[in-house]
Amino acid sequence: MTAGLERIVLEHPFFADLGTAFAEAISGCARNLRVAAGEYVVREGEPSDEFYLVRHGAVALELHAPGRQLIIVATLREGEVLDGSWLVPPYRWAFDARALELTRLLGVNAKCLRDKCEADHDLGYELMKRFVGAIGERLHAARLQALDIYGNSPA
Amino acid sequence: MIDANSGLVPGAKLVIHRETLQQLLDALVSRGYRVIAPAMRSGAIAYDTVTRLEELPIGWTDRQEAGTYHLERRDDDAVFGYAVGPHSWKQFLHPSVEKLWHARREGNGFAVSACEPALEPLAFIGVRACELHAIAIQDRVFVEGPYLDRHYQLRREQAFIVAVNCSKAGGTCFCASMETGPEVRAGFDLALTELLDDGSHSFLLEVGSTIGADVAASLPQRAATVVEIEAAARVVARTRNAMGRALDTAGLKEALQNNPEHPRWDEVAARCLACANCTMVCPTCFCSTIDDTTDLTGIMAERVRRWDSCFTLDFSYIHGGNVRQSTRARYRQWMTHKLANWFDQFGSSGCVGCGRCITWCPVGIDITEVASRIRDTPIAARSNGDDGRS
Amino acid sequence: MTFAYSTPPTVRTGDCLLPQPFPITRTRREAPGVVTIELAPPAAFAFAAGQFNMLYAFGLGEVAISLSGDPGNVTRIVHTVRAVGPVSAALTRLRSGMTIGVRGPYGSAWPVTESEGGDIVIVAGGLGLAPLRPAIYAVLARRERYGRVVVLYGARSPADMLHRRELEMWRRRLDVDVTVTVDHAAADWRGNVGVVPALIPRIPVDPEHAVALVCGPEIMMRFTIDALRQRGLRTDRIYLSMERNMKCAVGLCGHCQFGPAFVCRDGPVFRFDRVAPSFNIREI
């Protein structure tokens, strides 16, 4: 079972060039899961005790506010990660995440992996590099989206 | 003696008396030209319609410095003893306001009819070498590009040009640096050099075209002697050595195009009022805008073109904002266009070294000084991030 | 330095500032404030994908609007106009049977023919789809001459998307890869939410032999081009369409200058490596 998960970790674009040792460590905390279309993967405010890598399918990140329709602020597809809130306190989800179609995810237990990172800082650093990259891109995209560049008002 | 029908040719060098100048004006008027020459207007030497030689600023000269212009009496009666004033010849060839067409609503549509320019041939008296280059530069813009300004072309073809070799360099002149003067070389029908010694006042008259030869042949003239030709050459040489300014153009284009963030731009911007004087007096600036208007009934409409300046705030307006919002960006645009981009667009510098922008800037910004400073102190090229430090 | 890589425009004498009245045959509201207008030219109107016309609203003024129809059809002119000022707003209020003044076509063209033989990526943002649509038509008219054809389109929200019917039609074709993305959407949206540059890493093209055509707000083009370069496309294979203030559209009024280039005459379509030095300068 673990060998299969280790292969999945190694093949996932997010973990490209990770190496077998680290892949083994991560797969020890990992599990496979499937989410049906319309099912929620996570809910805003809940503890982020697991993070997810999208293997196949699509997940929409949603925010809600009273008097407003639900707004999708980002969609994550194959190769992307959901997300970085497991790394630092308060370890809580900042949005809802809903599967748009039948979606296969690799779930990684947050506490399990945090403990391993505390014990092996090299593992922690490799993970940190990848998460910071993904979060940086997400931030950049969010800024562009917030600018409403296609809107009528002057930028 | 060369007689009137002997066929003066371009290149012929003649001499005429000072009094003959009036006959030159008369000859041009009788050929149907409106003659435009230097004349004193509101304390400056401008270009205006004249018929009498006395209307020119005979015996006057100008003192020009950054942000300064005033006239003084000379101690002789030189007819052309001054440099250039705030006017240039572009206001006649490319008028500041020009009606292009008018239109009339008809049913669900409308009909457009083009306006024709007034067919009034102009004769320019006293065109300096820098101004000849400026006219040639505007020719390249309006007549030699893929789109043609027909009105400009018509006025240009009909214009008769009497050039003058400068006998006095202005305080802000730098045509020698720009290789646009002070000697008049081409682009004229006739060219005058004032020869004023104790006692004698004559002009070397050089023929520049067949139509110029035709006019010259109708005047009392004789071939110039070698002594007179040399005297004229000395006038030009003396002017060349008395330039008020200089601009070393080596490497200038690249320096300006590669230094958009140079701190000098900020320093200039702190002084620049974006008043657009420089663009108004510059003989090569050609920017314009289009005004579409309609009358109160909404049935008649017309389109007018008028001069514009890249210094105006909404010159670069798109989508609710101005691309060049700051004065800094607008000054940088003007100077980079004039001294650098112009080469890419039209194959030459846009500046002819006439110094008008320096003289007429209310805060005395000096284009030669700003350009030199940027070229002499370029910002080092920035690394792209991976400088390979270990 | 020369910019033209497509055929230079015909020399016009004198009447280059005279609009001709063209009747409107059809208008369609695409999105709030955005209208597509179809005109019937009195004579065959040939243009190249990427070119634009100056559209005149009687008595009010002119705006530069890209031609948005099929270059293979010379009997119909299509323009998509967004109301951003008094002239464009007036144009969007016109109806079938009324008249618009037209002069053009002006400007440089998308390198549709020059791109044959390889993959082609067409990236549009917001209203940028309108100037690219003629290029898509031209490419699909000779589909066999290209490798992969990829169309990416970013819009503000699903309701703001242009030309939806055509996007669906193109997507239904098996030989065109269409991906759309929006800045935000309601919960019933099943498509992508995110920015266009984020789609670039995944496009199924061979970067060595791909040409990209990009049009949209400048900030979107800047980051899209960054992403394309990171993907491995060469800067002399990336083309974009610029926009600047225009008055004369024939290189004589000076307003549209972008560095040394006149957008009306050297552009609006530029090969990226030729304008790259100007592209990152603020307020140029």
In this prediction, residues B214-230 reach a mean pLDDT of 96
Residue B320 has pLDDT above 80, yes or no: no
Of C17, C251, C281, the CB nearest to B145: C251
Distance CA B239, CA B132 (A): 17
Distance CA C256, CA A134 (A): 39
Percent of chain A with pLDDT over 90: 83
CB C263 within 8 A of CB C245: no
Farthest-apart Cα atoms in chain A, separation:
55
Q: List the Cα angle A51/A52/A58 in 5-degree steps.
A: 145
Residue A103 has pLDDT above 80, yes or no: yes
Three-class secondary structure of residue B118 per DSSP: coil
The gap from C-alpha C128 to its chain's centroid, in whole angstroms, comes to 5
CB-based contact C284 B325, cutoff 8 Å: no
B neighbours by CB contacts (3+ pairs under 8 Å) = A, C
Residue B170 has pLDDT above 60, yes or no: yes
DSSP3 helix / strand / coil % (chain C, rounded to 5): 25, 30, 40
Residue B383 has pLDDT above 70, yes or no: no
- Give the dihedral sign, CA C10/C16/C18/C24: positive
Residue numbers of C between 214 and 233 with CB closer than 8 Å to A? 216-217, 219-220, 223
CB-based contact C197 A101, cutoff 8 Å: no
Mean pLDDT of the residues in chain A:
92
The pLDDT of residue C14: 52
In this complex, is the C-beta atom of A151 within 8 Å of any C-beta atom belonging to chain B?
Answer: no
Residues of A with CB under 8 A from a CB of C: 60-62, 69-75, 77, 79, 98, 100-101, 137, 140-141, 144-145, 147-152, 155
Phi, psi values for residue B341, rounded to 5°: -60, -30
The pLDDT of residue B159: 98
In this prediction, residues A79-97 reach a mean pLDDT of 92
Distance CA A90, CA B329 (A): 47
Helices and strands (H, E) in chain C, number of each type: 5, 17
Distance CA C32, CA B290 (A): 29
B305 interaction partners in chain C (CB closer than 8 Å): 17, 248, 253
Instruction: Classify strands C149-155 and C177-182 as parallel, antiparallel or unpaired.
Output: parallel
Q: From the CA of A141, how many Å to the nearest CA of chain B?
A: 22
Neighbours of C280 (CB within 10 A): 9
Instruction: Classify strands A50-56 and A103-109 as parallel, antiparallel or unpaired.
Output: antiparallel
The pLDDT of residue B199: 81
Residue A110 has pLDDT above 60, yes or no: yes
CB B140 within 8 A of CB B346: yes
Farthest-apart Cα atoms in chain C, separation:
57
- As given in the structure block, the two tokens for residue A119 are 């014990």
In this complex, is the C-beta atom of B375 within 8 Å of any C-beta atom belonging to chain C?
Answer: no
Three-class secondary structure of residue B229 per DSSP: helix
Residues 6+ apart with CB under 8 A from B157: none
Residues 6+ apart with CB under 8 A from C139: C112, C115, C120, C122, C146, C149
B321 interaction partners in chain A (CB closer than 8 Å): 154-155
Residues 6+ apart with CB under 8 A from B226: none
In this complex, is the C-beta atom of B288 within 8 Å of any C-beta atom belonging to chain C?
Answer: yes
Residue A129 has pLDDT above 50, yes or no: yes
- As given in the structure block, the two tokens for residue B279 are 């663009």
**How many A×C Cβ pairs under 8 Å?**
77
* pLDDT band, very low/low/confident/very high, at B117 (cuts 50, 70, 90): confident
Q: List the Cα angle B299/B301/B306 in 5-degree steps.
A: 165
The pLDDT of residue C121: 98
Mean pLDDT of the residues in chain B:
94
Three-class secondary structure of residue C154 per DSSP: strand
In this prediction, residues A97-120 reach a mean pLDDT of 96
The pLDDT of residue A2: 64
The beta strand positions in chain C, using DSSP E, are 12-13, 20-31, 34-39, 52-57, 61-66, 77-82, 99-106, 119-125, 149-155, 177-182, 185-186, 192-193, 210-215, 238-241, 257-258, 261-262, 269-271
Q: In terms of residues, how long is chain C?
A: 284
Put residue C90 in one of left, alpha, beta given phi > 0 → left and psi -120 to 50 → alpha: alpha
The pLDDT of residue B6: 55
CB C112 within 8 A of CB C51: no
CB-based contact B321 A153, cutoff 8 Å: no
Three-class secondary structure of residue A90 per DSSP: coil
Of C19, C59, C99, the CB nearest to B298: C59
- ipTM score for this prediction: 0.93
Distance CA B259, CA C281 (A): 10
- Least confident residue range of A44-48, B124-128, B237-241, C105-109: A44-48
- As given in the structure block, the two tokens for residue B75 are 């101690």
In this complex, is the C-beta atom of B321 within 8 Å of any C-beta atom belonging to chain A?
Answer: yes
CB C264 within 8 A of CB C256: yes
A153 interaction partners in chain B (CB closer than 8 Å): 320
Residues 6+ apart with CB under 8 A from B235: B165, B167, B193, B194, B195
Instruction: Classify strands B13-17 and B201-207 as parallel, antiparallel or unpaired.
Output: antiparallel
Phi, psi values for residue C104, rounded to 5°: 150, -165
A148 interaction partners in chain C (CB closer than 8 Å): 156, 183
For residue range B48-78, what is the model confidence (pLDDT) as tens digits? 999 999 999 999 999 999 999 999 999 999 9
- Give the dihedral sign, CA B149/C15/B100/B319: negative
The pLDDT of residue C8: 41
Residue with tokens 């290029």: C135
Residues 6+ apart with CB under 8 A from C243: B318, C64, C218, C263, C268
**Segments of chain C with pLDDT less than 70:** 1-16
- As given in the structure block, the two tokens for residue C86 are 């008094």
For residue range A15-63, what is the model confidence (pLDDT) as tens digits? 999 999 999 999 999 999 999 999 999 999 899 999 999 999 999 999 9
